[in-house]
């Protein structure tokens, strides 16, 4: 049988990794796919020093690949919502299958892209877009298809986890670690996407749609980054038996779907609390299976290429399958998506870690405790530290039981209005993840 021809658009970190894995494992990949898979053409702005392209045709015009009649599968590894979107839409219009690692594109334009793909009877595969090499989309769409998924919680940005780990373990400065993550090819073209939680929110949006069968709704995700975290809070959390991780949480409740990315205290004995460096981990809780955990490299050339190439093989295996019998893009049949609403963050209920900087006067703790109890907020534990030498302020650390975000906002406003309190109250959400 003739080999299937793929066209790679973008030959950076992931494009280069994808080319190399396809070349190195070509024989084994053909045994898995049932036929050979060849790179028929590459569109690149510059060559990748890690790739020996041999006689593979190269162009600087992505549309030469997209419009090349020899190419069966277009692999979009450019990134962003601009030319990448045009590449994907034009490939679909030309009747070509698409494989992409672009979570930004899928989270923001996925509904339109999948509709176009269904109209043309082509596949759009995107395993590499969430948690890099971890086959989490495959696990959710296929392995867990029997379940009603209750919640998904994950460390889904490798750059952010790498920064938090290096800062905690080696005391390195934020900017220094971020620069290393960029040099290693982990970070997004705009690294604020990593450190402000936008990249994790893109991935969480995709996970939530596949877990609960809802349309992609990135604009409704609550997003908070890691840039405001302090070493003091990391240390206080540890004294209480917790680690701070940047977590994406999607939970289904009767009222709606929670979709939120933020720093989170997790009990230190949970496996996910001990996921470090560029590694990612996703927990999925289903009604039949209970809690499950998926772990692996969340970024980097070949871990991500592992997912891209697996998608290419999947596409090749099902080329002749009736489009109606393929695994649906969002796990549920397109005409069976639910309109269960995404909840505004004020409607989300979580436990909290609070750090209040108080004047060293008697009675402050009692005033804070009263404000919380008047609003029905139960305190799990309180830790009052020694006054700090430089400002004489006493940090008070409180852990609360679960409370609606709206009620917590009201309590924090009242605490901040006290004369005995200096500066804003620090709040970090707490998840038990059982
Ligand atoms: N780096 C990683 O570890 C991971 C990246 N991704 C995603 O994979 C995609 C690619 O990311 P990277 O490889 O890291 O980015 P990169 O910046 O290393 O590579 C992108 C390449 O596309 C090229 N390019 C841009 N516009 C082009 C055009 N018009 N024609 C031809 N080439 C063009 C650039 O010159 C660059 O070489 C992004 O969507 C990213 O979010 C997903 C998972 C992990
Ligand atoms: N910038 C992303 C790359 C993979 O998706 C990350 O750091 O996780
Ligand atoms: Na993945």
- How many CA atoms lie less than 13 Å away from 84 in the CB half-sphere? 19
Judge whether residue 387 has pLDDT over 90: no
**In this structure, what token pair is assigned to residue 277?**
């460096």
Is 188 annotated to bind a ligand? Reply is yes
What is the torsional sign of CA 265, 267, 271, 275?
A: positive
Domain identity same for 164 and 127: no
What percentage of the chain reaches a pLDDT higher than 90?
A: 96
What is the domain-level CATH number for residue 420?
3.30.70.260
Q: Is 183 within a domain?
A: yes
Domain identity same for 283 and 260: yes
Domain identity same for 151 and 281: yes
| pLDDT tens per residue, range 60-80 | 999 999 999 999 999 999 999
Q: Is the CB of 61 under 6 A from ligand 1?
A: no
Judge whether residue 389 has pLDDT over 80: no
Taking the C-alpha atoms of residue 277 and residue 274, their distance in angstroms, rounded to an integer, is 10
Domain identity same for 244 and 197: yes
Q: Is the CB of 159 under 6 A from ligand 1?
A: no
Q: Please, which residues have CB within 8 angstroms of residue 374's CB and are 6 or more apart in sequence?
A: none
Cα-to-centroid distance, 268 and ligand 1 (Å):
35
| pLDDT tens per residue, range 5-52 | 999 999 999 999 999 999 999 999 999 999 999 999 999 999 999 999
Taking the C-alpha atoms of residue 232 and residue 236, their distance in angstroms, rounded to an integer, is 6
Decide: 222 and 259 in contact? Cβ < 8 Å.
yes
Judge whether residue 193 has pLDDT over 80: yes
Is 304 annotated to bind a ligand? Reply is no
Judge whether residue 83 has pLDDT over 90: yes
What pLDDT is recorded for position 234?
93
**Total domains present in the chain:** 3
Give the residue among 385, 380, 379 at the shortest CA–CA distance from 356: 385
Domain identity same for 292 and 147: yes
391 pLDDT tier (thresholds 50, 70, 90)? confident
| pLDDT tens per residue, range 113-136 | 999 999 999 999 999 999 999 999
What pLDDT is recorded for position 20?
98
Kindly state the average pLDDT of the residues 181-204.
97
What pLDDT is recorded for position 224?
98
Nearest ligand atom owner, CA of 127: 3
ipTM, interface predicted TM-score of the complex: 0.99
Q: Is 342 within a domain?
A: no
| Domain that residue 37 falls in | 4-133+302-336
**In this structure, what token pair is assigned to residue 228?**
């405001």
For ligand 2, atom 1, name the residue with the nearest CA. 187
Strand partners, 98: 74, 124
| pLDDT tens per residue, range 340-360 | 999 999 999 999 999 999 999
CB atoms within 10 A of CB 71: 23
| pLDDT tens per residue, range 276-323 | 999 999 999 999 999 999 999 999 999 999 999 999 999 999 999 999
Q: Is the CB of 303 under 6 A from ligand 2?
A: no
pTM reported for the whole predicted model: 0.98
Pocket residue to mutate for ligand 2, from 15, 183, 299, most atoms within 8 A of Cβ: 299
What pLDDT is recorded for position 9?
99
**Catalytic site residues?**
203
Decide: 138 and 308 in contact? Cβ < 8 Å.
no
392 pLDDT tier (thresholds 50, 70, 90)? confident
Nearest ligand atom owner, CA of 158: 2
What is the torsional sign of CA 25, 28, 31, 32?
A: negative
Give the residue among 344, 354, 340 at the shortest CA–CA distance from 399: 354
Is 11 annotated to bind a ligand? Reply is yes
Cα-to-centroid distance, 108 and ligand 1 (Å):
17
Domain identity same for 115 and 226: no
Q: Is 118 within a domain?
A: yes
Cα-to-centroid distance, 189 and ligand 3 (Å):
19
| pLDDT tens per residue, range 126-162 | 999 999 999 999 999 999 999 999 999 999 999 999 9
Domain identity same for 223 and 321: no
What is the domain-level CATH number for residue 195?
3.30.360.10
Domain identity same for 145 and 224: yes
Domain identity same for 122 and 140: no
What is the domain-level CATH number for residue 81?
3.40.50.720
Is 15 annotated to bind a ligand? Reply is yes
Taking the C-alpha atoms of residue 26 and residue 113, their distance in angstroms, rounded to an integer, is 30
Pocket residue to mutate for ligand 1, from 7, 14, 48, most atoms within 8 A of Cβ: 14
**In this structure, what token pair is assigned to residue 120?**
């043309």
Q: Is 344 within a domain?
A: no
Q: Is the CB of 165 under 6 A from ligand 1?
A: no
Kindly state the average pLDDT of the residues 368-376.
97
């Amino acid at each position: 049988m003739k080999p299937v021809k793929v066209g790679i658009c973008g030959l950076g970190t992931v494009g280069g990794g994808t080319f190399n894995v396809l070349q190195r494992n070509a024989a084994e990949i053909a045994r898995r796919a049932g036929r050979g898979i060849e790179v028929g053409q590459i569109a690149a702005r510059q060559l990748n020093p890690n790739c020996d392209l041999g006689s593979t045709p190269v162009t600087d015009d992505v549309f030469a690949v997209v419009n090349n009649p020899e190419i069966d599968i277009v692999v979009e590894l450019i990134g962003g919502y601009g030319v990448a979107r045009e590449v994907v839409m034009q490939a679909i219009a030309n009747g070509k299958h698409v494989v992409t690692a672009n979570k930004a594109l899928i989270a923001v334009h996925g509904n339109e892209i999948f509709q176009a793909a269904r109209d043309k009877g082509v596949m759009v595969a995107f395993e590499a877009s969430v948690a890099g090499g971890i086959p989490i989309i495959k696990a959710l769409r296929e392995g867990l298809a029997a379940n009603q998924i209750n919640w998904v919680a994950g460390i889904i940005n490798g750059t952010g986890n790498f920064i938090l780990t290096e800062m905690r373990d080696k005391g390195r400065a934020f900017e220094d670690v971020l620069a290393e993550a960029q040099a290693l090819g982990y970070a997004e073209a705009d690294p604020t996407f990593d450190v402000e939680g936008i990249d994790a929110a893109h991935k969480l949006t995709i996970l939530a749609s596949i877990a609960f069968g809802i349309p992609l709704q990135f604009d409704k995700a609550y997003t908070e980054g890691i840039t405001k975290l302090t070493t003091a809070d990391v240390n206080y959390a540890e004294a209480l038996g917790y680690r701070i991780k940047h977590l994406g949480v999607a939970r289904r409740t009767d009222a709606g779907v929670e979709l939120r990315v933020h720093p989170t205290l997790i009990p230190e004995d949970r496996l996910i609390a001990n996921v470090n460096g560029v590694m990612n981990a996703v927990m999925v809780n289903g009604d039949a299976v209970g809690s499950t955990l998926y772990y692996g490299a969340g970024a980097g050339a070949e871990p991500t290429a592992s997912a891209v190439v697996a998608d290419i093989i999947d596409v090749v295996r099902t080329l002749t399958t009736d489009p109606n019998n393929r695994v649906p893009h969002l796990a549920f049949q397109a005409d069976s998506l639910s309109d269960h609403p995404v909840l505004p963050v004020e409607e989300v209920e979580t436990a909290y870690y609070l750090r209040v900087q108080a004047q060293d006067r008697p009675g402050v703790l009692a005033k804070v405790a009263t404000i919380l109890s008047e609003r029905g907020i139960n305190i799990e534990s309180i830790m009052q530290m020694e006054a700090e030498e430089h400002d004489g302020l006493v940090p008070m650390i409180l852990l609360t039981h679960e409370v609606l975000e709206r009620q917590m906002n009201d309590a924090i406003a009242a605490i901040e209005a006290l004369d005995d309190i200096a500066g804003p109250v620090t709040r970090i959400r707490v998840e038990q993840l059982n």
